[in-house]
Amino acid sequence: MRCTTLFDHLKNTSVAQWRAALTWMNAAASAAAQSVQDAASQASLSGQRADAAAASASAAANTLAAAQAALGAVKWVPGAYASGACAWSPINGQLYRTRAAIANSTVDPINDPTNWFSLGLMSLPIQQVTNTGGSFYGAANGGLNTINEITLAGACAKYLPQNPANGDVCVVVVANGRADNSLLVNPNNPIPLQVGTVMVTDFLVLGIPPGAVTFKFFSSSNVWRYM
């Protein structure tokens, strides 16, 4: 009885109805397949983004070591150095190259510009600033000889490093698109910021500079000077 009823139903179904049903089933099957493919693609993309983020963090962490290794740099110690030899200063961790052969180097490169070229920003590690208030990374000397990238969504205000040595630098990159980030002079250890002939003794608004802002410490006048 059931078979007869089914047969009668199928027999009375028009060709157009069959075609419409088949078209609907094909569309449904295609949509389901596409959903599976999209889900797989999203999972793959998420994995790729996670891998890329991990790789980026690893690369940033290894910037200084990679630069030192590529240049064959060693820790500076008193002694003889060939022309063009590279060494890193144990005082500030930055890279230097000899201008000419030195028979007996007795002064750390940071204090011997006559015999050593500074290799500048290429030797500095990169760190992201994700909070506001106090010192960079919660340390009195935080941000010293570092490229400090401000990524905090809100306005960021930080002290420059509090115990710098002559020639130390602090580099700040505004990456949050804000015009109200600022560098503060710590009232408990006031090291002024000098911009041209202007001496800043309270705070300096960074705005949105087009590139990295570099301050260098001059111990002779006890100032962070904008370079």
**SS3 track for 21-70:** HHHHHHHHHHHHHHHHHHHHHHHHHHHHHHHHHHHHHHHHHCHHHHHHHH
What burial letters (b/e) apply to 180-202, b meaning 16+ CB within 10 Å? ebebbbeeeeebbbbeeeeebee
Helix and strand numbers, DSSP H then E, in the chain:
3, 16
- At residue 105, the pLDDT reads 96
> Which residue numbers in the chain have pLDDT < 50?
1-18, 20-22, 24-25, 28-29, 32, 36, 39-41, 43-47, 49-50, 52-57, 59-62
CA 187 to chain CA centroid, Å, is: 29
Whether pTM > 0.75 for this model: the answer is: no
Read out DSSP for 206-218?
----SS-EEEEEE
Are 93 and 122 a contacting pair, CB within 8 Å? no
Q: Measured between alpha carbons, how far is 57 from 153 in angstroms, rounded to an integer? A: 19
Q: Measured between alpha carbons, how far is 135 from 160 in angstroms, rounded to an integer? A: 7
- At residue 64, the pLDDT reads 56
Are 143 and 160 a contacting pair, CB within 8 Å? yes
Q: Measured between alpha carbons, how far is 46 from 81 in angstroms, rounded to an integer? A: 50
Q: Measured between alpha carbons, how far is 65 from 72 in angstroms, rounded to an integer? A: 10
Are 209 and 186 a contacting pair, CB within 8 Å? no
Give pLDDT tens digits for 36-49. 455 444 544 444 54
- At residue 27, the pLDDT reads 55
Are 129 and 152 a contacting pair, CB within 8 Å? yes
Q: Quote the DSSP letter at residue 137.
A: G
- At residue 38, the pLDDT reads 57
Q: Measured between alpha carbons, how far is 134 from 131 in angstroms, rounded to an integer? A: 9
The side-by-side arrangement of strands in the sheet containing 116-118 is: 74-75, 86-88, 95-98, 116-118
- At residue 93, the pLDDT reads 76
